[in-house]
Amino acid sequence: MQTTIYSINDKTIKKAVELFNASEVVAVPTETVYGLGAVGTDSVAVKKIFEIKGRPSDNPLIAHVHKDYDISKLVYIEQDYVDKLIKAFTPGPLTMVFNSKGVVCKEAVGGGSTLAIRIPSHEGCQKLLKALDKPVVAPSANLSKHTSPVTAMHVYNDLNGKIEMILDGGKCSGGIESTVVDCTDKVPRILRAGLITKEMIEKVVGACLIAEHKSSDKVRSPGVKYKHYRPNCQTALYNENEIDLAIKRYDKEASEGKRAFIMCRDDLKGEFFGKNLLLLGKTEEQIASNLYDKLLEGEKIADIIIAIAMPDEKNINLGIMNRMRKSCE
């Protein structure tokens, strides 16, 4: 199959809608990462997503809808705080998990009884969802376990020959996947950290729990094991107070003829004078936005990426560290 990248506009949106309605999958831009979409009520199309990605069938997908879509057609909204979350954070990088009404097919939700809903803010994506006017289930548009794509070219590199159409909506501004919040209980619970933080949710609804593993335990990991978000090269992760160890590691790898790169925040670059660098930016937002892009750039030019951890796990740093740790495990 020939894979073509099309710039997203009214004409290509029309073509994408035709493909969606013909049980095909299409890669679409969002403000977080690119998604591999299919109509959520179409089990034939949904099964293609799992096959193409090599994704375990019990890992549920997020249903994406436009901002005027009545989500109560898909799910039971049982908690009062949901309205506040919707008003404050949508359209945007927030995914809410509800009890499902079963409209979206069971293949999309791993046979479970809940459904995750997201209203993306990316303008082209909104236009597409509006034109289709159906829920689009979409995981990140990468092969399972690989780093998530933040450009159309990243999608192409993973899925070339496996899908017909990639809609190019530019580089994703957010850069890490949406915050997933379980909204079935009295207090919202973050299942996956992201750009909408615990602190932001607490401000709007009072309380917010974190279900995610938030360990500050040992971050260094020399492993070459293939896991979630991993680039196709060796990786290692060092804490900020282990810069001397990171430098030693770099020198050792380089002395063995390996192309080593340090991946760090801009303000640390003075510590690594004369070394190959992948710079992530200054602010938390910039770092989140650049993380996958730099990992995917790194896998092309480096034998090993030596990453330096964020100084804490507050606010957006929690989501960043969650990805950094997994991608460098």
Which of ligand TXA, Mg ion, none lies near 65, with the C-beta cut-off 5 to 8 A by kind?
none
> Which of 32, 79, 126, 140 touches Mg ion by CB under 5 A?
140
Which of Mg ion, ligand TXA, none lies near 95, with the C-beta cut-off 5 to 8 A by kind?
ligand TXA
Note the residues at the interface with ligand TXA (CB under 6 A): 30, 32-33, 35, 59-62, 93, 95, 97, 109, 112, 114-116, 118, 138-140, 177-178, 180, 191-192
Query: Could you give the angle at which helices 152-159 and 284-301 cross, rounded to 10 degrees?
Result: 40
CA distance 93 to 78: 21
Which of Mg ion, ligand TXA, none lies near 19, with the C-beta cut-off 5 to 8 A by kind?
none
Minimum gap (Å) between residue 308 Cβ and ligand TXA: 25
Minimum gap (Å) between residue 321 Cβ and ligand TXA: 16
The verdict on 32 binding Mg ion (CB under 5 A) reads no
Minimum gap (Å) between residue 18 Cβ and Mg ion: 26
Minimum gap (Å) between residue 20 Cβ and ligand TXA: 15
CA distances from 194 to 62, 78, 142, 169 (A): 15, 24, 18, 21
Closest to Mg ion by CB, 138 or 279 = 138
- Cβ atoms of 46 and 108 closer than 8 Å: yes
Closest to ligand TXA by CB, 85 or 236 = 85
| 26 closest CA partner among 1, 50, 45, 54 | 45
Which of ligand TXA, Mg ion, none lies near 191, with the C-beta cut-off 5 to 8 A by kind?
ligand TXA
Closest to Mg ion by CB, 141 or 219 = 141
Which of Mg ion, ligand TXA, none lies near 35, with the C-beta cut-off 5 to 8 A by kind?
ligand TXA
Which of ligand TXA, Mg ion, none lies near 327, with the C-beta cut-off 5 to 8 A by kind?
none
Q: Is the peptide bond before 60 cis (omega within 30 degrees of 0)?
A: no
CA distance 112 to 96: 15
Question: CA 241, 245, 246 angle in degrees (round to 5)?
Answer: 90
φ/ψ region of 99 (left if φ > 0, alpha if ψ in -120 to 50, else beta) reads: beta
Closest to ligand TXA by CB, 198 or 249 = 198
| 137 closest CA partner among 159, 115, 156, 158 | 115
- Cβ atoms of 190 and 180 closer than 8 Å: yes
